[in-house]
A and B are shown apart, each in its own frame.
Chain A
Amino acid sequence: MSNENTNKEHAFSAKNMRLLTAPLSKDNPITVQVLGICSALAVTVKLKPAIVMALAVTIVVAFSNLITSMLRNTIPPRIRIIVQLVIVSLLVILVDQVLKAFVYDVSKQLSVFVGLIITNCIVMGRLEAFAMANRPWQSFIDGIGNGLGYGIILVIVSFFRELLGSGTLYGYQVIPEGFYNFGYEDNGLMILPPMALILVGTIVWIHRSRNKDLIDKS
């Protein structure tokens, strides 16, 4: 892997760094590539699961990108989706088993997300779009970048949903008791999935109004 890199460019060259930063904004997996929306709706009720999910997805995308990229010249195109799926599932199950054995508490928090990671469109999307055509190191960075880009949106959405829906942040009460005495009420709609969609929509709107080149030309 390093041999491939040395004869061309430095591992942390500006071009490679762009792979890391582009998904955070201009090439965001959720708001621009529209991948991984389903899990973004499911896990953003509270901040904590959103952060755990973001980390888990980042790790899985990065390593499945790396492995797929190393194997890319041997994978027959006709069964490439199957091969990708096997790599992703293998990673997820291995991670799950190790967590269960050594950090049982964390694995319990992740329980439902583990299945969600395998089906997360971002993973397959990046394998197909990037790892199958690029070198391992670049693929690895691309995975990290996309995982973080996904994470940012998750954190923003869950921040508002938890604050407005439950009056807490990361499980701690932040809206003072006094507000409730004056008739303030948590917005129950925020807890339900449609609100996540509306929030994501709002983010897309703000994002595009500030980045005119993201607006569709048609």
Chain B
Amino acid sequence: MFSNRYIFIYSTIMVVVVAVLLALAATLLQPYQEKNIRVERMRYILTSINVENTAANAEELYAKYITEELVINVDGEITGRYKDGKMEQGSRRAFDIDLRTEMKKLKEGGTVELPLFIAVVGNDTLTVFPLQGKGLWGPIWGYISLKNDYSTVAGSVFDHKGETPGLGAEIALPEFQKQFVGKKIFDEAGKFVSVKVIKGGVKNSKTPEVHGVDAISGGTITSNGTSLMIETSLQMYVPFITKNQSHE
């Protein structure tokens, strides 16, 4: 009934039409999508310093609270500074640096630029560190802010690409993130221990309560991924942190 010729022509036309439609949609919508992603990044950073925000006021609040964007190298030296809307040092804004690509570069032995953000909220100066890791199904990421002592967690935010709804995806909920407030990433001897996410609850484990939070039931792999993410991401900033701690 349908000749091979018809089938070939039919599928060719179908593929071309679909490709054109998708390419058109992607190109037309890209500016909107990119803006959403920038706003979302600002919202993450604001949430990590406990500033309530909406998609509408994120840009304004970001400008108000984030006073400096710094870029550092693996030795903890500042190589870039963005302040009051202009570059004072270096060439790239910390905001535009993707930690994931930098971590990949680090693995391959290249030089890296690590972004961090300084925020002033009330009388506190908070330092915001980006986090990147992997969960069960895909990437997870977040931001964690530390108080003046560079050890006490002031706030945190996590999100994920596609963790299981109701299980691993709970890391994106405030209930999980609130647990981190007040935890310390350095022990009393000044050793970096990070904040661990512990299956079965931190109370029932050997980890001191100040260095651990409860994992999510049924979301063990995502919980472990979150734990590892915090540790490996913050590890890269340890030289910078110890340098600044000794100044005080």
Interface residues of A (CB under 8 A from B): 42-43, 45-46, 49, 74-79, 82-83, 86, 90, 93-94, 97-98, 100-102, 104-105, 111-112, 115, 162, 166, 188, 191-192
For B137, give its contact among A45, A90, A112 (CB under 8 Å): A112
A-facing mask of B74-100, CB < 8 A → 1, else 0?
Answer: 000000000000000000000000000
Cβ–Cβ < 8 Å partners of B6 in chain A? 76
Cβ–Cβ < 8 Å partners of B26 in chain A? 97
Q: Are A188 and B218 in contact (CB under 8 A)?
A: yes
Majority-rule SS of B interface residues? helix
Query: Across the two chains, which residue of chain B brings its CB closest to A192?
Result: B218
Q: Are A94 and B22 in contact (CB under 8 A)?
A: yes
Complex: A77 Cα to B1 Cα, angstroms? 9
Cβ–Cβ < 8 Å partners of B208 in chain A? none
**Can you offer 17 A-B residue contacts whose CB atoms are under 8 A?**
A45-B164, A49-B166, A77-B1, A77-B2, A78-B7, A86-B14, A93-B22, A94-B21, A97-B26, A101-B33, A104-B39, A104-B40, A105-B55, A112-B164, A188-B218, A191-B166, A191-B217
Q: Are B11 and A45 in contact (CB under 8 A)?
A: no
Question: In whole Å, how far is A19's beta carbon from the nearest beta carbon of chain B?
Answer: 27
Cβ–Cβ < 8 Å partners of B167 in chain A? 45, 191
Q: Are B11 and A100 in contact (CB under 8 A)?
A: no
Complex: A112 Cα to B18 Cα, angstroms? 23
Q: Are B137 and A98 in contact (CB under 8 A)?
A: no
Task: State the interface size on chain B (CB cutoff 8 A).
Answer: 30
A-facing mask of B1-16, CB < 8 A → 1, else 0?
Answer: 1100011001100110
Question: In whole Å, how far is B205's beta carbon from the nearest beta carbon of chain A?
Answer: 19
Indicate whether A49 sits within 8 Å of B2 (C-beta atoms), given known contacts A79-B10, A94-B25, A98-B29.
Answer: no
Q: Is B111 an interface residue (CB 8 A)?
A: no
Q: Are A76 and B162 in contact (CB under 8 A)?
A: no
Question: In whole Å, how far is B144's beta carbon from the nearest beta carbon of chain A?
Answer: 20
For B10, give its contact among A42, A74, A98, A105 (CB under 8 Å): A74
Q: Are A102 and B32 in contact (CB under 8 A)?
A: yes
12 further interface pairs, Cβ-Cβ under 8 Å (given A74-B10, A101-B32, A191-B166)? A42-B164, A45-B167, A46-B165, A76-B6, A79-B11, A82-B11, A86-B18, A90-B18, A97-B29, A104-B36, A104-B39, A162-B166
Question: In whole Å, how far is A110's beta carbon from the nearest beta carbon of chain B?
Answer: 10
Complex: A14 Cα to B164 Cα, angstroms? 41
Q: Are B165 and A49 in contact (CB under 8 A)?
A: yes
Q: Are B217 and A188 in contact (CB under 8 A)?
A: yes
Cβ–Cβ < 8 Å partners of B40 in chain A? 104
Q: Are A104 and B55 in contact (CB under 8 A)?
A: yes
Q: Are B218 and A79 in contact (CB under 8 A)?
A: no
A-facing mask of B32-59, CB < 8 A → 1, else 0?
Answer: 1100100110000000000000010000
Query: Across the two chains, which residue of chain B brings its CB closest to A158?
Result: B166
Cβ–Cβ < 8 Å partners of A46 in chain B? 165-166
